[in-house]
Amino acid sequence: MHLGVRPVGRCNLLWRCSAQLLLCCLVAGSSLGNPAAAIPEPFVARFSLTTQGTKVGETEWSLKPLTSDVFIYESRTVAAGIFGLLSDEEIVERSHWQLEQGLLQPLRYSYRRSGGENDRNVAVSFDWEKSQAENTAKGHSWRMPVPAGTLDKLSYVLVLMRDLAAEKAELKYQIADGGRLKIYELRIEGEERIDTALGSMDTVIVRRLRNSGERETLLWCAKSLNYLPVMIEHREKDGTVLWRIDSYELQ
């Protein structure tokens, strides 16, 4: 996402990475962490995005029911700190999904970037009777097949959290992403007790595996919060932290 602050090239890269941040949707206090649970509880979670110790953005993620078995997850990111004074740009992602026989099934995903030089709107609608999804971007639409179990870019971490609670060994998900199907593969790296704005927490460290090997994303998932990711880092190959997102408020 472009902030309109051209001298700070790394910040522009951060906003281009914001879609990856928003993949890490959270379910603070949600019963989805319980493999036997069917309906998650509503929540609001707030996070700070920093780079090299400087706050550059804030994200608010929320989950609410629309009906007894259809839910909407929303992620809203805005510039903060000095960058908030220079830009009104905003990224909003939404996932409508339902519980189908106890499994999460996406219905519609949308992405909207507005208030800057490069506005963008993307939508994906799922038709499970036909096993296909319709993608819309830049005024064009096209369809693609989606096998059963396919998730959208926001909802897959809900399933990840549930799988961590169930102690599943294989963490691999098929995602409708960018107009095609992609495989997101993650691996448990170990456990660590970390200090957060929410207090000291025991966490499971999960690494997002990438084919390039140039960069990596790490998630610290809190056991006491149903494996909620309370800290996320995006690192360069040499270990340099490009950005970090930290939770600071849960409702």
Q: Which residues contact 77 (CB under 8 A, 6 or more apart)?
A: 1, 18, 21, 22, 49, 57, 58, 59, 90, 91, 92
Task: Identify whether the C-beta of residue 96 lies closer than 8 Å to the C-beta of residue 16.
Answer: no
- 43 has pLDDT over 90: no
For 47-67, the pLDDT digits (tens) are 898 888 888 889 898 888 998
80 or 195, higher pLDDT: 195
- Average pLDDT in the chain: 79
pLDDT number for residue 31: 37
- 180 has pLDDT over 70: yes
- 130 has pLDDT over 60: yes
**CA separation for the pair 50, 217 (Å, rounded):** 15
In this structure, CATH architecture of domain 9-250: Beta Barrel (2.40)
Identify the weakest region by mean pLDDT among 27-36, 104-113, 144-153, 166-175: 27-36
For 81-103, the pLDDT digits (tens) are 666 556 778 899 999 999 888 88
Of 51-65, 81-95, 128-142, 148-162, which has the strongest mean pLDDT? Answer: 128-142
For 189-245, the pLDDT digits (tens) are 999 999 988 899 999 999 987 766 678 889 999 998 888 788 998 888 777 888 888
For the chain, the structural domain boundaries read 9-250
Question: In the chain, what is the straight-line distance between the N-terminal and C-terminal CA atoms, in Å?
Answer: 28
